Every structure is written in structure tokens, then in C-alpha cells.
Chain A
């Protein structure tokens, strides 16, 4: 047993060495996410700046309502708004009426030590975004700190036309916050599906490298001469491919988060919600997410093995795996679509169920158990099948692989003896 474990470790070490020296794997798994995402980020950033520039021809009119108890803090905010290029401070004797008649887009009032913002509904979102743009160059933490220092509350960030205390940071309260929460989880689902696509792309390429390419280069024959069981060999190869795929997926997620933090966060004030969701999601959610993502990737690699074992060359292997790989990626993507929920039918689709678990967040223990046990069984079945198939058929005078044990295409098997 100890020897088997050691052999598997050595096999994995060798496979990892070979894979990380493979230029294709490096390009797809490491360089593509590192180069591609910053490139996408720059494109998105430029597009958004251009779009923003198009929108900036009109200033939003804001009425400032002063009361007798207004103090220096109000003057500070008034000055900030007046100096901002997006706003125009206007005088209004009846701001409520002005709002209704759309003579102004927003009114800001300092009542009971708190800022309250009101906008007309047609421009609510825009006004809200632009008011908060006063501070969006800084991080939210810095802002809150500064606001507190000035004795202000977080309500300046509140959804303005709903004067109630529905803070953007307070996910899970109010209708708007619920919408944002749904959107946030939808975005997380999409991110994870993207990571899965990346993992399957890299995992597929790795499977071809460690299995089909070995047959093409006739190195598999050499390994079979060593005192190692075929199942150890398949298991080690599967672990290697999964490791490479998961590493690549993590790089993908890391790059995506990098883009969110560096490019999108300063530009989209509401993206804070996504970060709040990240913070608020409990450990069970993250554990379930990672477990589902990892097991779905291992299953993906195992399924690719089942197909790749039939290929005798890299080209043949590529043809064999490409369509089913696309199908599995599509299944995973389906889980991100609105309306696809976990139920007894969808839970039986191996790839889909893993992603539905992520989407559901807190599925029942029954579905979790079903999804994980089903996946583990399928992975074991794939390893067994591939192990059985990895037999050199010498009778054909070439290194192809046929089912039926170490004897290959022998007379006794063909004649049914």
C-alpha cells in the first residue's frame, strides 16, 4: 500500500513536470488568463469611460435644503457638490414639487443630524450614482471612515428616492437590496461557470497530453513495463490533470477578481454589493462552492479520459473530446441561467447538479449527498474503465489500446473461449 502511494506520488511528480513544460498548457492555463483578463479590463474600462463621456453633457440639478440647525458639515457637502462637474446646485423654494415636475433631479436635506437625499424616480439611479461619484475614487472603507470623522452616517449612500434606511451595504433588507443580492449571486455563478470553462479547457488539453500523447510517443508502453498497476497510473494521471485544471481555474478567478478590484470597482459604485456578498456568504457556502467546483473538474477530467483513451494520436484525441467537452461546459453554464433550480431531475445531471449546488447556496443535505456521491461514483467508474482500456494491443503491430485485459486481442478472447 505504501509502495503504491509512493508510486502514485512519483507518477504525479513526473506528469506535472511534463505538463508544466508543455507550451500549450502554459499558454492556456497561465498566460491566457494573466494576459487576457487585464486586456479585457482595459477594453471594458475604455468603453465605460467613452460611454460615461457620452452621458456627461447634462449636469444634474440638485436643490440643497437648509434648515436653521444646519451646521458646517452641510456647507462641506454643498461645496463638494458645487465643485463637482456632474452637478449644478439650484435654489428651490418647494423642492418636493420641483422634483415631481422634474425641474430638479435631486434634493439634499440635513435633518436630525442625517443627510437625506431625494430624487425624482426617472433619474434616481443616475443621480444616485453621480452623487456617490463624489467619493467613488476612494475605497468604501476610506469613505465611511471619513464620513464618520465628519459625524456623517452611511445614509449618504442610501438609495436616495427611498428615504428609508436601505443601505447599499445592507444586503438582505428591502426589495432593492434583494434584487442586488440576486444579481450578485448570479454574477458569482457566472464567474464560477467561467472558471469551470477555463478548467475544462486546460483539463482537456492536459488529459490529451498525459494520455493520448503518451500513446503517440510510445512512452506509455515504457511505463507499463514498470511494476505499477494500471489503475495507479490512471489515478495519478487524473490527479495531475485535475490539479493543473484547478490551478488554472484559480488563476482565472484571481485575475477576474483583480479586474473587479482594479477596474470595475472604482467605476461601478454598486459593485460594492458584490464584495459585500463575498464577505457575507458564510463558510458553508464557500465550502460547498469549492467542493462542487473541484469535484466537477475532477469528473470533467475523468470523463475526458474515457474519451481520450480511444485516441491513438493527439489529433484523434482532440476530435474525440471537443464536442462532449463543449456539452459539459454548456451544462455548467445552464446552471447560471435564471429559472434553473435544483430539483430531483436536475440533481441527476452530473455536471449541472454540482453547479446548481453552488447557485442554490444552501441546498438540502439530500441534494448535496446525491450530487457528491454520484460524482465520486462516476469518477471511480471512469478510472476503472480507463484502466481496463489501457492495454497495448500488440497483435495489431502498433500501440493501440483495446478492452479485455493484458492479453490484448488474443485468440481466446476473439473466439470467445
Chain B
């Protein structure tokens, strides 16, 4: 099992709502070559869930294990095995993409003798060659997004967590992101992506987990969800799930 999430709970506190569960008893697993989409509206708890998996937040209850390593007990080991990408991750303006990739490969303990080779491979894979030696401050949004992707995968992690990866991107950048996710599937990565865009989840994901108010209301393949809810379109499936009691498919 590459990624296993068991009964994960995270509470937050704010003045308006008081204490509330951002993630409430969430469980799922993800296998190599799987693309699991976390589908839900803004504030559903998708990002908090991904951050707990990426060890950026400590869960109040439950457990996250990546290739057998517990995210709380061995966060460093988990970080080595996860590539995390979100719209909130920035790039070092004064480094070039190549320098950025070498830096993160080293930090993530990629074998030293293979770093240059790996960086070249990633540059080639994501077509960064034309601007690999230009400082990041001079790159366009699309180029920066590509460099961010490269940064997340340069250490060749078995799990890739993408937090709303196409948020704010133009059509061309969205297409390259979709291609990248396809590549991850081909190379047997376990991909976990959050999105609130229904057609994106429908197009890319092998399995979809419908999240709302911190809970997973349903999870399964698109066909399984259609069958369970009797609806044909993902929008309708989503509405049916969040209005009905929890639909357990697995």
C-alpha cells in the first residue's frame, strides 16, 4: 500500500464558528498508478487533508502512512516520499530552474551521483530546456507552474499530492498539467489531487472521493458513483451525495 489514510481528524478554531472539524474521520487508500481525486467545494477540507498527508499539519486523530512510514512519527521519511504541489508554493526568484531542481533533489536526499542525470531527465520530460538557466523571476506564469511541477517530482517520489493544480492557470498550462498527471499514472505514481472542477476529476481520476464539510461522502470510480447514486453527471452525483447520508461504496 503506497498511501493509507485512516480515520483522520483535524479541528480548527475561529471566532465565528468556534471549534469545527476541517477534516472529520476521513479514510482512504491509494495504490501505485492510481489517481485519486478529492472533489469538493471550497472549504470542504481537501487542502487540510493534503497538508496533513504532506506532514505540514499534524492530525488531531487518525493516521497517515506513506510506504509504511507514519506521517507523525517519521515526518522526514514521509516528506522524502511525497511530492507536494499547490498554488501556494512559490519559487526562489533568484535561482534558475536548474538550480532550483538541484537544490530540492539534494534536500530530498536523492542519490547524489544521480542528481544531474535526474535533473536533466525532468527538464526534458517537462520541456524546461529553453528556460532552464534563466532566473525564475523572469519566467511567465506557465513556465513557473512547470518549474513548480518539476520541483515537486525531482526527487522521484512515489506519492504526488496536487492541491488544486490547475487553479489560476490558462488553457495551455492546464493541458500541460493534465499531461503531467497522465505521465505520473504511466510511471506508476500514486497521485492524489484535490479539485473543485467536476470535469477535471471526471477526465483524470481513476477514483473520486466526494468531500464536503470535512467528510468523505462517497468514494469510488465514476461508474461506481453513477451506479450508487443513479445519476449520470458528476455534478448531479456530487449533489446527490452531499444531500444524502454517507454513501459507502468501499
Contacts and interface: CB of A to CB of B under 8 A. Distances in A.
B103 A411 contact: no
A225 B48 CA distance: 15
Interface in A385-417: 392, 394-395, 399, 405-412, 414-415
B199 interface: no
B76 interface: yes
Interface string B1-27: 000000000111110000110100000
B84 interface: yes
B245 interface: no
Given A225-B54, A410-B12, A17 B94 contact: yes
A225 B84 contact: yes
B107 A10 contact: yes
B189 interface: no
Contact of B90 (A10, A217, A226, A409): A217
Contacts of A21: 94, 135
Contact of B10 (A3, A14, A227, A410): A410
Interface in A223-254: 223-229
Contacts of B60: 410-412
B89 A218 contact: yes
Interface in B46-74: 47-48, 51, 54-58, 60
B248 interface: no
A228 B107 contact: yes
B11 A410 contact: yes
Contacts of B206: none
B108 A219 contact: no
Nearest to B90: A218
Nearest to A222: B89
B57 A14 contact: no
B86 to A, nearest CB: 8
A7 interface: yes
A18 interface: yes
A83 interface: no
B94 A394 contact: no
Contacts of B13: 395, 409-411, 414-415
A410 B60 CA distance: 9
Contacts, number: 106
Contacts of A17: 94-95, 99
A395 B93 CA distance: 27
State the majority secondary structure of interface residues on B. Answer: mixed
Interface string B74-113: 0111011010100011111111000100011011110000
Contacts of A221: 56, 88-90
A146 interface: no
A406 B71 CA distance: 12
A392 B89 CA distance: 12
A411 B90 contact: no
B215 interface: no
A218 B89 CA distance: 6
Contact of B151 (A222, A395, A405): A222
Contact of A392 (B48, B56, B58, B92): B56
Contact of B79 (A6, A225, A394): A225
B61 to A, nearest CB: 10
Nearest to B107: A226
Contacts of A222: 89-91, 104, 151
Given A226-B79, A394-B57, A14 B51 contact: no
A2 to B, nearest CB: 11
Contacts of A218: 88-90
Contacts of A10: 103, 106-107
Contacts of B82: 225
A22 interface: yes
A168 B51 CA distance: 72
Contacts of A408: 57
A405 to B, nearest CB: 7
A21 B136 CA distance: 12
Given A219-B91, A407-B57, A227 B77 contact: yes
A392 B51 CA distance: 11
Contact of A219 (B56, B58, B90, B106): B90
Interface in A255-314: none
Interface in B138-167: 151
Given A14-B92, A226-B79, A394 B106 contact: no
A406 B151 contact: no
A338 to B, nearest CB: 45
A195 B93 CA distance: 30
Nearest to A9: B106
Contact of A227 (B58, B91, B109): B109
Contacts of A411: 11-13, 19-20, 60
Contact of B58 (A6, A223, A405): A405
- A-B interface, 7 closest residue pairs, ranked by CB to CB distance from nearest: A411-B11, A218-B90, A227-B76, A414-B13, A226-B107, A21-B94, A227-B79
Given A14-B103, A222-B151, A394-B56, 8 more contacts: A14-B99, A21-B94, A222-B91, A222-B104, A225-B54, A227-B109, A410-B10, A415-B19
Interface of A: 3, 6-7, 10-11, 14, 17-18, 21-22, 217-219, 221-229, 392, 394-395, 399, 405-412, 414-415
12 contacts: A10-B106, A17-B95, A221-B56, A221-B89, A225-B89, A229-B76, A406-B58, A408-B57, A410-B58, A411-B12, A412-B11, A414-B19
